[in-house]
Amino acid sequence: MQQYRPTKAVVDLDAITSNVRQIIGAFPGFTYYQGVVKADSYGLRGPDVMRAILDGGCNFLCVSLVEEALTVRAEFPDVPVLILVPPPVETLPLLSRQGISVTVATAEQAAAAASVDGLKVHIRVNGGHDFFGGPTSQPEFAALFNSLRQSKAVIEGIYLHNYDGRSQQPTMAEFDVFEAVTVDIDLAEIPVVSTSVSLTLPWLEAKPYATACRIGNIIYGIENDTMGLKNCFQLLSQVTQVVTLRAGQSIGYCEAYKASADTEFIGVVPIGYGDGFAKTNAGRDVFVSGRRLKIATVTMDVTLLVGDADLRAGDEVVLIRDAAHLDEIAEHTGGVAEESISLLNERVYREYRRKTPDSFA
């Protein structure tokens, strides 16, 4: 469909591929590099993004939803896929037929998986803070493990999910739990053992039993300021109209912004919370012709900027510039870096670039 609105998310596929290659080069020795493509590749969307990740060297993909897994399987029939969130019980036979691996965290989930012939299972170890619970004592974990080992299902993997991968003390405590509950298991017999993730790779040496690592945020250049990874995403639009306000005049619902100077200029930008561009963006900076301007308010379909005398209709607006800007946005909104891009929905057109002169990577 032809795009009439000048709002788009620009995705640099070369930068994604480059980032994956750089990560694998920096952290060699794993058999499996699991690229995390949940939330439709963190909002970047589409099979081209997944293909760029595979081109970089990932040989395993991780998702959160059954629907996401089936999409990956349709696009890439031979690529291993793991669902990181325990899926609904009724989907397990379908997932087994599709060769899609599933997560099991609790004894109840293990019991459901155990009855499905050939279902590939990854046991998610509860390091003490896991979303899905699960045993934290060795006897309970051993009972879960043995119930699967003696079943119709196949134990393909065991993994640890860190709740605060940048903090050494809680992360090491989680590893202590992992090693305690698996002490009687020969991990060398488990094909996929994953305890290293995006946030722990830069500072925590890989464990000798680990055959896999999961890389998510850093594929997209997010939440990593030590490796020189490339920016792969920008959110762009234009000023479509400049509104002049006099002192005391207001604009936006419930007088969202009121002019205090004799003359003020408001830029109208065609993006809003109907696109997944949250109202919490109000008050933060965007970039117009290299200078910072503040967002006055966000409505369903338009965002209003507090402009200046140089603001003109047609000016390009960089709503999200790079990873550093995402960190800045997260601090302003109280969210996390990947949140702003993951929220953007299908109303925002994605433009994919590969080997183009105007690449911004």
Number of CB atoms found within 10 A of residue 274's CB: 13
Task: Indicate whether 28 pLDDT > 50.
Answer: yes
Q: Are residues 162 and 292 in the same domain?
A: no
How many Å is the Cα radius of gyration of the chain? 23
Q: Are residues 110 and 78 in the same domain?
A: yes
Closest CA to 103 of 73, 70, 66: 66
183 inside domain: yes
Q: Are residues 264 and 327 in the same domain?
A: yes
Q: Which domain holds residue 286?
A: 233-353
pLDDT score recorded for residue 319: 98
**What are 73-95's pLDDT values in tens digits?**
999 999 999 999 999 999 999 99
What mean pLDDT, rounded, does the chain reach?
94
The C-alpha atoms of residue 58 and residue 30 are separated, in whole angstroms, by 11
Mean pLDDT value of segment 203-228 = 90
Any idea what DSSP says for residue 242? E
pTM for the whole thing?
0.93
Mean pLDDT value of segment 49-71 = 97
Any idea what DSSP says for residue 86? P
Residue 55 corresponds to which amino acid?
D
**What are 274-284's pLDDT values in tens digits?**
999 999 999 99
319 inside domain: yes
The C-alpha atoms of residue 331 and residue 339 are separated, in whole angstroms, by 11
Q: Are residues 259 and 320 in the same domain?
A: yes
Q: Are residues 85 and 157 in the same domain?
A: yes
Mean pLDDT value of segment 89-114 = 98
Final residue belonging to a domain, choices 187, 220, 253 = 220
Neighbouring residues of 78: CB distance < 8 A, sequence distance ≥ 6 = none
Q: Give the total number of structural domains in the chain.
A: 2
Q: Are residues 135 and 202 in the same domain?
A: yes
**What are 132-165's pLDDT values in tens digits?**
999 999 999 999 999 999 999 999 999 998 888 7
- Looking at residue 106, which CATH number applies to its domain? 3.20.20.10
The C-alpha atoms of residue 269 and residue 311 are separated, in whole angstroms, by 12
pLDDT score recorded for residue 2: 85
Task: Indicate whether 323 pLDDT > 90.
Answer: yes
Tokens of 337: 């870096």
Q: Are residues 298 and 267 in the same domain?
A: yes
pLDDT score recorded for residue 361: 46
The C-alpha atoms of residue 311 and residue 289 are separated, in whole angstroms, by 9
User: Cα dihedral sign for 258, 264, 270, 275?
Assistant: negative
Tokens of 139: 């006897």
Q: Are residues 201 and 287 in the same domain?
A: no
Asked if 172 and 203 touch (Cβ cutoff 8 Å), the reply is no
Final residue belonging to a domain, choices 161, 190, 220 = 220
334 inside domain: yes
Asked if 267 and 305 touch (Cβ cutoff 8 Å), the reply is yes
Q: Are residues 149 and 279 in the same domain?
A: no
pLDDT score recorded for residue 356: 54
Closest CA to 237 of 273, 199, 187, 287: 287
110 inside domain: yes
Angle between helices 66-75 and 47-56 (to 10 degrees): 70
Closest CA to 78 of 64, 60, 91: 60
**Sheet containing strand 233-238, strands side by side:** 241-246, 263-269, 303-306, 291-298, 285-288, 316-320, 233-238, 8-12, 349-353
Q: Are residues 245 and 164 in the same domain?
A: no
